[in-house]
Amino acid sequence: MTYQTILVESAGGVTTITLNRPAAGNALNTTMLEELDSALQEARDAAGWNVVVLTGAGESFCVGGDASDSGLAGKQDLLKKIVLTLAEMDKPCLVALNGPAVGAGCSLALAGDMILASERASFGELLTVDGPLPDVGGAHFLPRLVGVGRARELAALPGPIDVALADKLGMVNRVVPAGELAGAVRELAEKIAAGPPIAITYSKRIMSRAFEMTLSELLEYEALSQQLIMSTRDHQEAGKAFLEKRPVKFIGQ
């Protein structure tokens, strides 16, 4: 499929989606939202196992909504759907944060499972007349990453969060030089893509739901997940590969 505002490339078990309006800081307009929604659904529903990478072209990841697009206000439900898809898809989603992520762009980044950030990256919520306001799920993701107290502090203070502070607070998994970001993300994505698909899927589900479950419910869910994983062909293959001292070959079954 041909897109106007994003690029999609699939190779080696990795699907990379690039926001591609660099002259506009990859600001979200109506077309980009529609194309991003389509690409994410296609990656989510694709047969087989793949890791999704989301990044931006040029010097910005995404500076938020395009203020010049008068139709964007009517696309809030679509934006929410995109954030939910990123956060809830079973397949791992890595964010290659190549530059500033602002407003809705910040939420797109935080919705990913892991963030590898360039030394040029930063986070920023939208500023209202009263101060910064968490936007499009920001109030959901940020406290889970840095704790409620820190999240409230960040929301009360104007200005962007630079990558050094984001790294210190645990908002990103790793900071790398700008020229090494693509390679580092690719290496990590390929390692995950070579891993056990079912186990990785259930690990993501468990950790995503842990905040909403009681400890008793979580223990039960973990036990059921372990039983399911131990009944798979991949589990049997891992045991055989260990005994035979050879690389394991997972098939997602």
| Eight-class DSSP state of 73 | G
For 44, list phi and psi in degrees, rounded to 5.
-65, -40
Q: What is the pLDDT of residue 48?
A: 80
Q: Strand 100-102 to strand 122-124: parallel, antiparallel, or no bridges (unpaired)?
A: parallel
Q: Please state the domain extents for the chain.
A: 6-193, 197-244
Residues facing 96 on adjacent strands? 55, 116
Please provide the CATH number assigned to the domain covering 197-244.
1.10.12
Decide if pLDDT at 209 tops 90.
Answer: no
Give the tens place of pLDDT for each residue, 86-140: 999 999 999 999 999 988 898 899 999 999 999 999 988 644 444 445 667 888 8
For the chain, state the CA radius of gyration: 19
Please provide the CATH number assigned to the domain covering 6-193.
3.90.226.10
User: Residues 4-15: what's their mean pLDDT?
Assistant: 92
- pTM equals 0.88
Give the tens place of pLDDT for each residue, 136-182: 788 888 888 888 898 888 877 767 888 999 999 999 999 999 999 99
58 closest CA partner among 91, 23, 27, 94: 23
Residues facing 65 on adjacent strands? 28
Query: How far is Cα of residue 93 from the mean position of the Cα atoms in its chain?
Result: 4
